[in-house]
């Protein structure tokens, strides 16, 4: 079993991946600055994984709060810290050797990235560089990176293969493509005298849903921009209607088609990726994580209504800037290299997202 460092583990995808990794038997150190994550997410993860809280401590600086859970030989530590600060990251390497880092910490809102590009280059690119530098200082060279299908921009062919051109169309996508380039340079850098890097760039399609318990899920800050959190808010009466962005796309029903992947399938994909890297010689893997199936906005609305017995009023509106008609993964390389594929369907996605929303209508801020 490995000791893994999870940056951004208190966020949406990170928290679900922490649970999957704990259930696989690994021990974890999580670092998060809580800018968009919650201690409560990790508390719930520890509870679901059957770990007991051991202690909570604070150093002289408030930034360095720490929480510890344990069960038998397995442990989970949460550190409050900023990935852009070497001293904060170094804390994670202090008490144990870290076998691999899964790097989720980052900023992810496309529209915000257009308004504040420097923040995105700072956290996503400079932050990733800092994580890699501290890893190298500590002789840890196994790295799983949260990339995004957004690096493909307006892909010309679907399903989208990893060989499709990388041509992002917004600053957020540019920062993901830049980190991928940094990782390719790093993978190519090691000489015969140095141990090589083991790297996976995982390009997620549309992560959605929540753990089946309803105890952890997506907790968007302010008004959500993604489809499923908005559908939940409409279904619960927090918003009058869903605005469907475009009904004249070149798709069967005219609405946008996406490859929605259940967040627990995605979490398990990370488990498969890190175990594959640790078991194989140094390499760089670039993999799509998606289901390979596309669903339109109206199919999602209908699936949600049918599965949950709710009503989701909607209005057909004009297209949203920057959207494309169809984005669907070709997930065959991930299947063959990791022995991983998605297993949860659209009904499961809708059921789990709704359970989380009903149990936590205000997210973690209860
Ligand atoms: P999230 O915002 O829920 O999680 C990111 C976490 O990183 C948060 O807990 C936040 O507090 C933390 N963080 C941010 N800046 C930090 C810093 N400087 N130091 C320490 N912690 C910091 O986002 P998510 O949806 O879980 O996404 C995780 C990763 O996956 C991101 O890198 C994102 O770009 C990528 N991704 C997300 C999606 C998606 O649709 N959610 C799709 C593709 C890729
Ligand atoms: C899905 C579909 C919309 C909201 C974004 C980022 C991408 C990635 C995932 C991080 C589209 C339609 C949506 C609404 C709608 N994130 N829609 N009404 O745009 O595919 O991807 O999140 O890497 O980078 O761009 O996801 O959930 O916003 O939209 O009709 O109110 O739902 O037009 O067809 P998207 P989404």
Instruction: List per-residue pLDDT tens for the chain, 366 residues long.
Output: 999 999 999 999 999 999 999 999 999 999 999 999 999 999 999 999 999 999 888 765 555 799 999 999 999 999 999 999 999 999 999 989 999 999 999 999 999 999 999 999 999 999 999 999 999 999 999 999 999 999 999 999 999 999 999 999 999 999 999 999 999 999 999 777 778 999 999 999 999 999 999 999 999 888 999 999 999 999 999 999 999 999 999 999 999 999 999 999 999 999 999 999 999 999 999 999 999 999 999 999 999 999 999 999 999 999 999 999 999 999 999 999 999 999 999 999 999 999 999 999 999 985
CA 225 to centroid of ligand 1, rounded, Å: 15
Report d(CA 254, CA 245) in Å as an integer: 10
Q: Give me 133's structure tokens.
A: 């530098």
Range of the domain at 358: 3-365
Q: Is 290 in the pocket of ligand 1 (CB under 6 A)?
A: no
CATH number, residue 68: 3.40.50.720
> Do the beta carbons of residue 145 and residue 132 sit within 8 Å?
no
Nearest to 124 by CA among 80, 167, 178: 178
Instruction: Report CA-CA distances (Å) from 61 to 31, 64, 66, 105.
Output: 15, 6, 11, 21
> Do the beta carbons of residue 124 and residue 106 sit within 8 Å?
yes
Report d(CA 43, CA 106) in Å as an integer: 21
**Preceding amide of 208 cis, omega within 30:** no
Would you name the residues annotated as active-site residues?
A: 172
Atom of ligand 2 nearest to the CA of 242: 31
CA 229 to centroid of ligand 2, rounded, Å: 11
Q: Give me 126's structure tokens.
A: 């400079």
Report d(CA 98, CA 83) in Å as an integer: 16
Rg (CA), the chain: 20
Reported pTM: 0.98
% helix, strand, coil for the chain, step of 5? 40, 20, 40
Report d(CA 235, CA 223) in Å as an integer: 15
Q: Is 358 in the pocket of ligand 2 (CB under 6 A)?
A: no
CA 309 to centroid of ligand 1, rounded, Å: 32
- Give residues with Cβ within 8 angstroms of 259, minimum separation 6: 149, 205, 206, 290, 291, 292, 293, 294, 327, 328, 329
Please count the structural domains in the chain.
Answer: 1
Report d(CA 236, CA 231) in Å as an integer: 9
Q: Is 176 in the pocket of ligand 2 (CB under 6 A)?
A: no
Q: Is 289 in the pocket of ligand 2 (CB under 6 A)?
A: no
Report d(CA 204, CA 269) in Å as an integer: 10
Nearest C-alpha to atom 26 of ligand 2 is from which residue? 226
Q: Is 8 in the pocket of ligand 1 (CB under 6 A)?
A: yes
- Give residues with Cβ within 8 angstroms of 163, minimum separation 6: none
Atom of ligand 1 nearest to the CA of 35: 11
Residue 281 — left, alpha, or beta (φ > 0 → left; ψ -120 to 50 → alpha)?
beta
Report d(CA 218, CA 261) in Å as an integer: 14
CA 163 to centroid of ligand 2, rounded, Å: 23
Report d(CA 81, CA 65) in Å as an integer: 8
Q: Is 128 in the pocket of ligand 1 (CB under 6 A)?
A: no
CA 320 to centroid of ligand 2, rounded, Å: 9
């Amino acid at each position: 079993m490995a000791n893994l460092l999870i940056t951004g583990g208190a966020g949406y995808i990170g928290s679900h991946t922490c649970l999957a990794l704990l259930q696989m038997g690994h021990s974890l150190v999580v670092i998060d600055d809580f800018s968009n994550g919650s201690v409560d997410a990790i508390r719930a993860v520890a509870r679901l994984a059957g770990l007991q809280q051991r202690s909570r401590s604070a150093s002289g600086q408030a930034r360095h709060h720490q929480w510890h859970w344990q069960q038998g030989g397995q442990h989970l530590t949460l550190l409050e810290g900023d990935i852009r600060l070497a001293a904060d990251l170094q804390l994670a390497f202090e008490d144990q050797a870290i076998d691999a880092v899964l790097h989720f910490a980052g900023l992810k809102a496309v529209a915000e990235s257009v308004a504040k590009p420097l923040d995105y280059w700072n956290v996503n690119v400079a932050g990733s560089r800092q994580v890699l530098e501290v890893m190298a200082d500590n002789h840890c060279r196994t790295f799983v990176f949260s990339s995004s299908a957004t690096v493909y921009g307006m892909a010309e062919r679907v399903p989208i293969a990893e060989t499709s051109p990388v041509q992002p169309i917004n600053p957020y996508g540019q920062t993901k493509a830049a980190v991928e380039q940094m990782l390719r340079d790093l993978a190519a850098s090691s000489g015969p005298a140095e141990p090589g890097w083991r790297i996976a760039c995982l390009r997620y399609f549309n992560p959605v849903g929540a753990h089946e318990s309803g105890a952890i899920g997506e907790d968007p800050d302010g008004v959500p921009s993604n489809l499923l959190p908005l559908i939940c808010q409409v279904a619960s009466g927090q918003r009058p209607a869903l605005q469907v962005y475009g009904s004249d796309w070149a798709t069967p029903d005219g609405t946008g088609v996406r490859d929605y992947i259940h967040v627990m399938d995605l979490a398990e994909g990370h488990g498969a990726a890190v175990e594959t890297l640790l078991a194989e010689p140094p390499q760089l893997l670039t993999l799509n994580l998606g289901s390979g199936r596309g669903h339109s906005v109206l199919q999602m609305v209908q699936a949600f209504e049918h599965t949950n017995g709710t009503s989701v009023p909607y209005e057909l509106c004009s297209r949203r800037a920057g959207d494309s008609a169809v984005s669907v993964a070709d997930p065959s390389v991930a299947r063959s290299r990791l022995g991983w594929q998605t297993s949860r369907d659209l009904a499961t996605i809708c059921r789990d997202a709704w359970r989380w929303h009903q149990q936590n209508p205000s997210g973690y801020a209860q």
